[in-house]
Chain A
């Protein structure tokens, strides 16, 4: 019998490993200084308020939502930049696919410029690039989208800090306690290891988990490179040791 079939889905969630996540206050990333709670988080066994969460049907998805090369085209032209496909599987900590869950993504353009009213970087906007998309995972937990590789960009933190190329991800899962926002980096980028935001994560292996792998097998010939980025959401424990006199 497969291991996964032994684990019922109705248990509590595994506790979040706070040593794997960034701490709230990470001084290298200055914006955390006034925004990090100083009190300890209050541990709370999840209730129905956290073990349930919003679900979204395929009806919310527009045809070009997973094609950032074309979904903001103003004049029929495609976005400028290196064409890539980003895909991966959303799994829980028990390595089971998370099906039918919404994945949202946003990013800077190829020059490292965001389409945002508070963005002041001098790199040019691409009139045909918005930088926003979404997808719902399939029955095996996979999502995919087409985009251009975002550029690195400088940001006001230290005197000369640069963000490595990255794509932001928002994932829902099936429980509000699984809600996650993270960022995807690109394999082999030396700038990851100079980035105060990536390095807000203390464990190098945890940063590696956010690094998408170049996947030559899924490259679209004469079109786009492929990067694989799997996302892991919290999983649920076995309930076998709850006090049930009748056993499990």
Chain B
């Protein structure tokens, strides 16, 4: 039996607009009660494992920081299971985002083999008509990255690097940094998933 044409069409997307914070990070606009924390704020519920920082900045096609975006992160825990490790942050005035989480384990990919560790990012902002999906991989997983099904779908190896976060370490804690470029030279690879 073939798939039927689905009876309904997906609701079309619209931009989140410049006032997205009212809905998604209301405490930034003084709308939440004093004891209510914004959904997805704070350290991710990512289970056991050494804590890491994931950070970066978002830039537009003129290399100006995108200072009004909201970024969501969804990832597997250290054992490769997706459970509760979801976070959401508004970027600051410099376009910078930051998540406190654990490094994810490996998840099975479309070819049945484990993918390299990665997190999934989703970005909305004024001027983004449909939320942008991308991934962040880890520079210290070079062997796994080289065999990753998704990274290898990117024909131009230079563009693969737009998804690989650099590692630094301070006081025993690793920070992975990846800038996201919406447009222009070194434009980040975004996915139609």
Contacts and interface: CB of A to CB of B under 8 A. Distances in A.
A16 to B, nearest CB: 6
B27 to A, nearest CB: 10
- Chain A contact residues: over half helix, strand or loop, or mixed? loop
Contacts of B150: 44, 47
B164 interface: no
A235 interface: yes
B122 A168 contact: no
Interface string A218-229: 000000000000
Nearest to B33: A62
A162 interface: no
B24 A170 contact: yes
B10 A234 contact: yes
B86 interface: yes
A23 interface: yes
B9 A93 contact: yes
A42 B109 contact: no
A104 B24 contact: yes
Interface residues of A, number: 88
Contacts of B191: 41-44
B161 to A, nearest CB: 14
A132 B26 contact: yes
Contacts of B4: 3, 7, 238
A92 to B, nearest CB: 8
A235 B6 CA distance: 8
Contacts of A16: 10, 192
Interface string B71-89: 0101110000010101000
Contacts of B129: 21-24, 26, 29, 32, 36, 200
A180 B132 CA distance: 10
Contacts of A32: 127-129
B66 A35 contact: yes
Contact of A54 (B68, B86, B118, B153): B86
Contacts of A183: 14-15, 17
B74 A131 contact: no
Interface in B149-170: 150, 153-154, 159
Interface of B: 1-4, 6-24, 26, 29-31, 33, 36, 39-40, 60-62, 64, 66, 68, 72, 74-76, 82, 84, 86, 107-110, 115, 118, 120, 122, 124-133, 135, 150, 153-154, 159, 182-184, 187-193
11 contacts: A33-B127, A38-B61, A44-B150, A50-B120, A62-B33, A92-B8, A94-B8, A106-B24, A116-B22, A117-B29, A182-B14
